[in-house]
Each structure stands twice: as structure tokens, then as C-alpha cells.
Amino acid sequence: MNAMNLAFKLNVKLAWTQTLSLWRAGAIRVLVFALVLAVASITAVSFFTQRVETALNQQGSLLLGGDLAISSDHPVTDQFEKRAETLGITTVKTYEFPSMVVYGGANQLTEIKAVGPGFPLRGDLTIGQEANTGHVVKATPKVGEAWVEPRLAHLLGLRVGDEVEVGARKLRVSAILLREPSRGGDMFSFAPRLMMNAADLPSTKLIQFGSRVKYQLLLASAPKSIQNYFAQTQPELSRGEKIEDVRNARPEIKSALDKAQQFLGLSAMVSVILAMVAMLLSSLPYIKQSLDTFALMRCFGASQHTVLQVLAIQTLFIAFFSAVLGVVLGFCAQFVLANVAGSLFLDVLPPVTAMPVLVGILASLAMMFAVVLPHVWQMRNLTAMNILRRETLTESISVQVKFLPAALVMGAMVFWQAHDMKLALSTILAISILCVAIIIISYGLVSLTNRLFNQSFFSGSFGQRQVINSIKIGVLSLKHRFSLSTVQMIGFSMGLMVLILLALIRGDLIRNWQASLPLDAPNRFVINIQTSASWWSKSFL
Amino acid sequence: MQSPPVVQALDLNYEFVSNFNSHDNHIRILQGLNLTIVAGEQVAIVGSSGSGKSTLLSLLAGLDVPTSGSVRIQSQAFSNLDEDGRAAMRAKSMGFVFQSFQLLPSLTALENVMLPLQLKSHPDAKALSLEALNKVGLSNRVQHYPKQLSGGEQQRVAIARAFATQPAILFADEPTGNLDNATGQLIIDLLFKMNAEAGTTLVLVTHDVHLANRCQRQLKLENGVLNELATA
């Protein structure tokens, strides 16, 4: 065990020394730079979308007053509550309906909300004794009490301590309700709010057959339990019942975020493709030097296990440190994104979480190993003498196999970033068509040029013949290394294609969005204008 | 009393398949070759280009495997071991000096010399490497990279690396092949001086008659077999 530990420590030390030496010698700088760039773009997008998503989820929970809400136009089925109990999910029932509230001789149409104990499950309420000072509470009105919004207090001339009539029940106003996040963004909730204890509801005698009541069962628990509950309950919903979660609490922002995430994800994808092409092309000096090192190590008595372990650790070092640099860059870049685009979604974005860091590190490892793996596969069969004699990679593995892991990783990343099967498949199909087209065009061009320069009719001065001979040698070299040349051409073409595509799509997206709105689409609304005041509003406009 | 054999080649055959004009051609390099080298001997293997000198050296050092026949190192079967078994034997008993120096460009002179010692988990890798570099007169160049050193200096680093592990057998493949005459002479002197001090068995492959003449035994490889030329 000790010997194994010692050997491992030695291999780590060797890998570290060699990584540093390769860096100093400039053999891995382009590779590292490409990797850092790819990780930075992936993590920047991931950090940003995760912040917006977290904010949306938090807002969604506050708006719902829980993680999940079952709303119904009839009392919520008991089995839904029992299921929640079984899964250890906290629940609370609420009832919302419009009704008249009477105080003295005045009455006012009011949005009554009767809440059970434990409301709100998420977020809090702000109440006070007056309309301009308040404190945060996580509580409900006591039995026989009511909290009223400042507007209701103003309309009815209510003060704390006064008694209001709600149906057949008299309730004492014990606080002014200053803020209720779960009041929501329903633009047709015009009536002011009165909140009361659900235990007082029967005595009001307001809920009768045919009453328009919104019955709600709010639920809160760990995300996994909520997901389970959602999955089990959704198919069982009957007429008049609906289930809402934090994702659809603000559908307008969610939809914008989905689009932004898709676009940013694909932009990150472009940088990943470019970076991987750069990595593949720049990995050759790294591989060559590594092979030389490992051949010598074999010569000096290192076992194959040692050699492969050192290479694996070395690859891990490069992937890890590039990932760290990339994550730091991505973290800085997401601030720019948040400043530029964050305010389009929400006022304040929550802090970042660790998930994008993990994503960056995993992506870095996947990309690095995709580049190195084929060479490791080759190395397995090479003796020290093979490498020292430069009987290296070209014959023992085909170019297609060499680039297969990189292509697979790129494909996986397209699926991951596109968030849409159709889009991912179209992207992959387009890339495949591009590859085939380039192979055909390259082959055609090389064959044509080769045939052209092999014709004997070329004559002329010594200088001209020398130029033609140089071109012949160049074309022959291209022909002999056709696979590698094609891969290089594919790489550069793909790089150019995605850059052009991105530039086009960027403008196209904005133009499409602008085209979807009529030129005279209003961006301000004035409502509740009486006929008598219409002349004033027209002159104001 | 005769010293025990350190390197033995028994009925060694080596051939490879060359693909020319889409036809496989079997090319025989060694044909039933036999060789015995005793401890402390200095043996030069000479022969024309392409005669198979380097191939023979790589077979004796276990860097390659014979088509048939066997190699024994310090009376132990060697050529029929697997790659890792041969590597372990090399780590234990062998040192190498190559024609093209084979220094790693990304490592300093000191790191290059330390590499085989580190692979053996030697606790004094750095001290021994510094001592070896001192012996070859490069104590002031330890932090230099190969590209910052002349050809002669690079070969001196390679010699320091070969002797730092105190091997029983030193294989040298054209050690002066990439050097001018004057530098080559200095390298030969250094190689033999260090070899004498360490009492290492030296097996070298060379074109250089002058270098071959410095060895106790000279063997000429011709048509796949070895012929004894002279004994110093």
C-alpha cells in the first residue's frame, strides 16, 4: 500500500513537473488558451442563466406563497392533501373571493383572502399600525381579526382597532397589511385586500352554493418531493383544477429567459466548437512532446501503467487549471452579461451558485480527454523503439478515429446547450452536411490541382519551373496528408461558418422580435377612465 | 577466472515486413546471431549503414523484441518478458546514450538527468544528478534547456543521465554521430573515463573507427551475423 502511495506521489510529481515544463516550453499554451476560452464562455452563460432562474424561482415561490399551488373552483380534493402529508410536504389552505366589506355606513367591494395557519409557506408579510410604518411577520391574522390594505382603510376610513363586517361576521382590524408578495401580478385584481383567518370563514356565511371562490392548497418542501408530488398529481387534476409551480409563476419572463438561454447557450456552443477545433490542431506539439517523454520513460524503465498514469494526471492538471482560469473569466464575464441583459429580466439578481463551476470543470475535463484519449489509445501499442524511431501516430490510427471523441463531445454539448431536440439535431445535421461538403470539395480541388500540375505542357524559364515544382510538392503533400488537411479545412470552415451564423442570427433575432410588435403597439395603459374624463385623457396624450 | 556473462544473444533472428508497391516484403536483418558479453567488457559493434547495428542494440536492450531467438541479461531470460517486465529490467540494470541525445526539450539539464532516477523513486535524485552533471563539467549549466546547450553539451547531459543511475550495462548508439570530430573526441574521452570509474559494461554501436578502437572487443555486423574483428 505504501509502495503504491509512493509510486502515485511520484507520478503526480512527474506529471506536475512535466506540465510546468510543457507550459514553459510553449507546447501547451494555445491548447490551454482554447480550453480557458471554452470554459469561460460555458460558465459565463451558465452563471448568468442560473442567476436569472434562481431569481425567477424565488419570485415564483413568493408569488405563489409556496413551492406549488393547486387552485380550484371547488374545494380541493382531500386526496391531494393526504398525498402531501404522506410525502412530508407542508400544506396550507387559502380561500379567495370578492365580497362587500361594511364599516359604519360605507361599504366596499374587497378581495377577501382567508388563510389557514402557517400561511405564507414561502416569503413573509409586512404589517403595521399605520400605512407608512411596518414590520415583517410570518404570521396570519388571529381568529376574529382582519388585516386590511391601506387602500381599503383609506376608502372606508378604517383605523386599527375598528370593527368591520364581513358577511355575517364582525372582525376587528388588528393591522394594516402593507405588503403581500403572493398578491401576485394579476392585473385584474383591482379590489383592495382584506386578509382574515380561515377559521372565521364559516361564521361569515359568505361561502354558499354557487359562490365564486378560488380554493387553493399551497405546498412547500424540498425540490425533489415537490417534483414527485407535481408528477403524481398533475395527471389526476379534474375540471376546474390547475396546478402551478414556480416555473410558470411568471410565464412572460420564463419565456424570455428560455429564448435567451438558448441563444446564449448556442453562442457558448460556437466558442466550444471553435475552441475544440483550436485544441485539436494545437494538441499536436503537446502530444508529440508527451510521446517523446513517455518513450524515454519507457526506455528508462517506466511501466506502461506509470506512463499512462502520468499522462492522465498531466491531462487532469491541464484540464483543471484551465477550468479554474476559465471559471474565473466566466465569473467576471457574467457580471457584464448581468449588467447588459440582467436588468431586462429582473431588478436584482441573486448571487451565483457553485453549479456552473462544476459544469465548467466537467466540460474542461470532457474536452481535454476527448483530445488526448485517441493518442493514449495509440500509445498503448507503441514500444519505446517505435516512438524513438518516429514510427508514431499516423499509421496506427485513422484520422476519423482520432477525432471521433472530440466530435462526440461536441455533439453532446450541442444537445446540452440547445435545450431543444429539434434545434440540436438540426445543428448536428448542418455540421455533418458541412463536413461532407468540405471533404468532397477538398478532394475535388486536390485531385484537380494535382492533375493540372502534372501535365507536361508546363514549360518556361528555370524560375517558372521552380515555382511549378514547389506547387507540385505542396499539392503532393496535401494529397499524402489528405485526411489531416481535410480535418484542418473542416475546422477552419466550421469556425468561419459559426461566426457568420452567429452574426446573422443575432441581428435576425432582434429583427424578428421587433417585427412581431406593430409599430404603434402601446407600452403604457391607462384604465378605468370615465366617459366624462375621456376628453381630458385625449388632450393629455 | 572468466567473468559471468552479462549480455547473451542466442540464435537471434529479426525480420520486418516492408510494404512497397502494395507488396509485402520480408526483410531479414539478423540471422541466427549469437553474442556473449561479460561484465566490465567494452564492446563496439560496427557495420555499414542499414546492417542492423541499431536494431541489434534495441533488441539487446529490450526496446524491441526478436522475431525468434532470445536475449539473456545477467543470466536472466529477458526478450520473452512482456514490455513491463523488460522495462523493469532496464530500470534496474541499463543506461542509454543515443545519437540524437534524446533530451526532453521541455526539461532543464538537471530535470533531464533526474528523470530516470525519479522513475526509480530514488530519494537522492537531485543530489546524484547534480553530482553527475558536475562530473561531465556542466555544473554551471544545470538550469539550461537543451536548446540553450551546444550539441556536445547536450551529449554530456545525456552521458550524465546514463551514469547517474549507476547501471550495470551502458548501451550507446552512435554517441558521436551528431558531433564534429573535436567535440566527438571529447565525448569519447568522457564516456570512457566515466565507464572506467563506474566499471560498467559498455556496448556501443558506431561507424567511428577511432571510437571502436578504444573498445576491448570489436564486432562487425554483416549479413545479419556478427564477426569478431579484433581484441584490444
- DSSP string of A175-210, one letter each residue: EEEEE-GGG---TT--SPEEEEEGGGHHHHT---TT
Residue A345 in grid coordinates: 429580466
Strand blocks (E) in A396-534: none
Q: What residue of B is the nearest CA neighbor of A5? A: B121
Cβ contacts of A13 on chain B, cutoff 8 Å: 118
CB of A301 closer than 8 Å to CB of B168: no
Mean pLDDT of chain A: 79
Question: pLDDT above 70 covers what percent of chain A?
Answer: 77
Cβ contacts of A300 on chain B, cutoff 8 Å: 90-91, 96, 115-116, 119, 165
Work out the average pLDDT over A280-309. Answer: 81
**Contact yes or no for A383 and B102 at CB 8 A:** no
CB of A333 closer than 8 Å to CB of A267: no
Cβ contacts of A292 on chain B, cutoff 8 Å: 102, 104
Q: What residue of B is the nearest CA neighbor of A305? A: B84
Residue A162 in grid coordinates: 375598528
Mean pLDDT of chain B: 87
Residue A296 in grid coordinates: 524515454
Work out the average pLDDT over A297-304. Answer: 84
CA A241 from chain center: how many Å? 31
**Among candidates B4, B26, B28, B13, which has minimal Cα distance to B70?**
B13
CB of B204 closer than 8 Å to CB of B47: no
Return the HEC string of A409-423: HHHHHHHHHHCCHHH
CA distances from B178 to A199, A522, B105 (A): 99, 83, 17
Q: What angle do CA B73, B78, B84 make, to 5 degrees?
A: 125
pLDDT tens-digit map of A344-392: 555 667 778 888 899 889 989 998 888 888 877 777 766 667 666 655 4
pLDDT tens-digit map of A188-244: 457 889 999 999 999 999 988 878 899 999 999 888 888 889 989 988 888 888 888
**Among candidates A413, A405, A399, A423, which has minimal Cα distance to A489?**
A399
CB of B29 closer than 8 Å to CB of B49: no
CB of A203 closer than 8 Å to CB of A169: yes
Q: Tell me A174's DSSP state.
A: E
Work out the average pLDDT over A389-400. Answer: 54
- Least trusted range by pLDDT, from A109-113, A123-127, A159-163, B67-71: A123-127
Which has more confidence, A481 or A141? A141
Residue B150 in grid coordinates: 551546444
CB of A490 closer than 8 Å to CB of A438: yes
Work out the average pLDDT over A252-273. Answer: 67
User: Residue A282 — pLDDT band, cuts 50, 70, 90?
Assistant: confident
Question: pLDDT above 90 covers what percent of chain B?
Answer: 39
Q: What angle do CA A484, A490, A491 make, to 5 degrees?
A: 90
- Whether A306 has a pLDDT exceeding 90, the answer reads no
pLDDT tens-digit map of A81-139: 999 999 899 999 999 999 999 998 888 999 999 999 988 888 888 899 887 788 888 88
- Whether B154 has a pLDDT exceeding 70, the answer reads yes
Alpha-carbon distance of A373 to A280, in angstroms, equals 12
pLDDT tens-digit map of B141-151: 999 989 899 99
Alpha-carbon distance of B142 to B188, in angstroms, equals 21
Which residues are paired to B33 by β-bridges?
B12
- Whether A331 has a pLDDT exceeding 80, the answer reads yes
ipTM summary value: 0.82
pLDDT at B142: 93
**Among candidates B33, B73, B83, which has minimal Cα distance to B56?**
B33
User: Residue A395 — pLDDT band, cuts 50, 70, 90?
Assistant: very low
B82 three-state secondary structure: coil
pLDDT at A394: 44
Q: What residue of A is the nearest CA neighbor of B109? A: A21
CB of A254 closer than 8 Å to CB of A248: yes
B51 min Cα distance to partner chain A (Å): 16
- Using the structure block, give the residue that is written with the C-alpha cell 401580478: A185
The minimal CB distance from A17 to the residues B63, B111, B145 is found for B111
- Residues with Cβ within 8 Å of A514's Cβ and at least 6 positions away in sequence, in order, are none
Alpha-carbon distance of A359 to A5, in angstroms, equals 30
**Contact yes or no for A299 and B96 at CB 8 A:** yes
A238 three-state secondary structure: coil
**Contact yes or no for A300 and B145 at CB 8 A:** no
Which residues are paired to A109 by β-bridges?
A100
Alpha-carbon distance of A244 to A64, in angstroms, equals 8
Which has more confidence, A426 or A183? A426
CB of B12 closer than 8 Å to CB of B71: yes
Cβ contacts of B65 on chain A, cutoff 8 Å: 383
Alpha-carbon distance of B203 to A298, in angstroms, equals 20
Contacts of A232-239 spanning 24+ positions with Cβ under 8 A:
A232/A83, A233/A70, A233/A80, A233/A83, A236/A79, A236/A80, A237/A70, A238/A77
The minimal CB distance from B87 to the residues A7, A18, A303 is found for A303
Q: How many CB pairs below 8 A link A and B?
A: 80
Which has more confidence, B229 or A63? B229
Alpha-carbon distance of B164 to B128, in angstroms, equals 6
CA A112 from chain center: how many Å? 39
CB of A280 closer than 8 Å to CB of A406: yes
B49 min Cα distance to partner chain A (Å): 16
Burial of A484 (0-12, 13-18, 19+ CB in 10 A): middle
**Contact yes or no for B106 and A27 at CB 8 A:** yes
Helix, strand, coil in percent for chain B, rounding step 5: 35, 30, 35
User: Residue A320 — pLDDT band, cuts 50, 70, 90?
Assistant: very high
- Least trusted range by pLDDT, from A263-277, A506-520, B83-97: A506-520
Alpha-carbon distance of A147 to A120, in angstroms, equals 14
**Contact yes or no for B102 and A13 at CB 8 A:** no
CB of A67 closer than 8 Å to CB of A307: no
CA B138 from chain center: how many Å? 21
Cβ contacts of B64 on chain A, cutoff 8 Å: 383, 385
pLDDT tens-digit map of B162-209: 999 999 999 998 888 888 888 888 888 888 988 888 889 999 998 888
pLDDT at A260: 64
The kind and range of the H/E element at A18 are helix A2-24
B200 min Cα distance to partner chain A (Å): 17
In degrees rounded to 5, what are phi and psi of residue A91? -130, 160
**Contact yes or no for B111 and A296 at CB 8 A:** no
B35 three-state secondary structure: strand
Let me know how long chain A is.
541
- Whether A510 has a pLDDT exceeding 60, the answer reads no
Alpha-carbon distance of A467 to A464, in angstroms, equals 5
Which has more confidence, A440 or A533? A440
CB of A272 closer than 8 Å to CB of A359: no
**Among candidates A224, A250, A223, which has minimal Cα distance to A56?**
A250
- Whether B52 has a pLDDT exceeding 80, the answer reads yes
- Using the structure block, give the residue that is written with the C-alpha cell 372565521: A200
Residue A246 in grid coordinates: 414556480
**Contact yes or no for B107 and A297 at CB 8 A:** no
Work out the average pLDDT over A137-155. Answer: 91
Alpha-carbon distance of B30 to B47, in angstroms, equals 13
Rg (CA), chain A: 34
A87 min Cα distance to partner chain B (Å): 57
Q: What residue of A is the nearest CA neighbor of B165? A: A300
Q: What angle do CA A261, A264, A270 make, to 5 degrees?
A: 135
Neighbours of A36 (CB within 10 A): 22
The minimal CB distance from A14 to the residues B102, B118, B165 is found for B118
Q: What angle do CA B176, B181, B186 make, to 5 degrees?
A: 70
**Contact yes or no for B121 and A304 at CB 8 A:** no
